[in-house]
Amino acid sequence: MNKTIKVCIDARLWGSRHTGIGRYIENLIDCMPESSDCEIILIVPPDLKHESKLKSFTKYYARYHPYSLISQFEMLYLLTTIKPDLIHVPHFTIPIFWPGKQVVTIHDLIKHFSKGSDTTTRHKYVYWFKYLGYLLITYLAIKRANHIIVPAKYWKKIISKKYNISSKKISVTYEGVSEQFLHPQILSNYKPPLLKPYLVYTGNLYPHKNLPTLIQAIKLLDGRVNLAIVCARSIFTKRAEKIIKDNGVSNQVKFLGYVSDYDLINLYSQSIALVQPSLIEGFGLTGLEAMAIDTPVIAAKASCLPEVYQDSALFFDPLNATDLSKKILSLLNKKQERLKFVKKGKKLLGQFSWEKMSNQTKSIYYKISG
């Protein structure tokens, strides 16, 4: 008879309010297959005590934010109480004092490549102090982990080379598309908050997102297309507004702030395309979600995006606004070109599934727990 393994998942960043990491944790737990030989225990913040999606799990409560120093002592106390065979930390914020087995998900190393005063609004001394802390705990997470999970082969290769660890210690588990995008509720009478034809950009406004190239492309198109920017919160909004103003496209670009998944689906449904101009990405989930709504994707040929989107996106040179403007025009003027990428996107989605990701993750638990 097999021993039941006790796995603790650090779910302190559960839910869409924590953007991509939160969505990853939520879907990992939602799709975790039930089995008699694996007990899943969650560590969550107190405000998730009555969360209906988590009601079937045993929960322990952590009051402090994962980035705080005091949370390290709190996690040590909780894990000493739980006594798990294995803990899965779905971020680099490992409990450094816990001596037991750990599986860590490293979503990306973007901050390793996109750094410096342009990437923060904090005082430089505060920024560099926090940045060094980030480098240290990421190093500890990668070196201390019994196994590492990444969302793309691109990151597996970089982590293996940068930290001189065996690629056998790293597993790739592609992310998936949530049910609300796969079976969307689209309103036939939906009125978008800006004039057609329009493009959609979804994401934050950090420098690596490469928004200036997209704004320059809108300028080159000389009023032929508008742009909706969906961004829940960003410390760089004023910088982005200045770039838009300096390029003289204030009438073509509209900030929509936070948009619910329901409204985002309808926004996608009437758009020309989703544009993803990022110089570096962890995975590129927003592009897959757009494809599920029959929305073509125009993406930068950079980092992991070609790996994830394969031949189902229209790629452009990430630092060439003229190239981007030509790609936009090709979808704007050629209906057949747009339909071609809609069909390719739908076909691609069959390769990605949260259920598959969760099953692969559970197999890793069994393997590492022995």
Beta-carbon count within 10 A of 99 CB: 9
- Domain 179-351 class? alpha beta
Distance (Å, rounded) from C-alpha 292 to C-alpha 303? 22
pLDDT digits (tens, 9 = 90+) for 9-50: 999 999 877 878 999 999 999 998 888 899 999 999 999 999
Please write down the long-range contacts of 63-69, taking CB distance under 8 Å and 24 or more positions apart: 65/12, 66/10, 66/12, 66/13, 66/91, 66/93, 67/93
**Exposed e or buried b for every residue in 163-187, given b needs 16+ CB within 10 A?**
beeeeeebbbbbbbbbeebeebeee
Picking from 206, 274, 210, the residue whose alpha carbon sits closest to that of residue 19 is 206
pLDDT digits (tens, 9 = 90+) for 85-128: 999 999 999 999 999 999 999 999 999 998 887 777 777 888 88
pLDDT at 352: 96
The CATH 3.40.50.2000 portion of the chain extends over 5-176+353-369, 179-351
More confident residue, 124 or 337: 337
Average of per-residue pLDDT across 320-339: 95
Alpha-carbon torsion (58, 61, 65, 69), positive or negative: negative
pLDDT at 2: 64
To the nearest whole percent, how much of the chain has pLDDT over 70? 99
Average of per-residue pLDDT across 325-342: 95
pLDDT digits (tens, 9 = 90+) for 316-325: 999 999 999 9
Q: Are 107 and 170 contacting, i.e. CB atoms less than 8 angstroms apart?
A: no
Distance (Å, rounded) from C-alpha 361 to C-alpha 217? 41
- pTM for this model (two decimals): 0.93
Options 3.30.413.10, 3.40.50.2300, 3.40.50.2020, 3.40.50.2000; CATH for 5-176+353-369 is 3.40.50.2000
- Would the pLDDT of 76 be above 90? yes
pLDDT at 122: 76
pLDDT at 126: 83
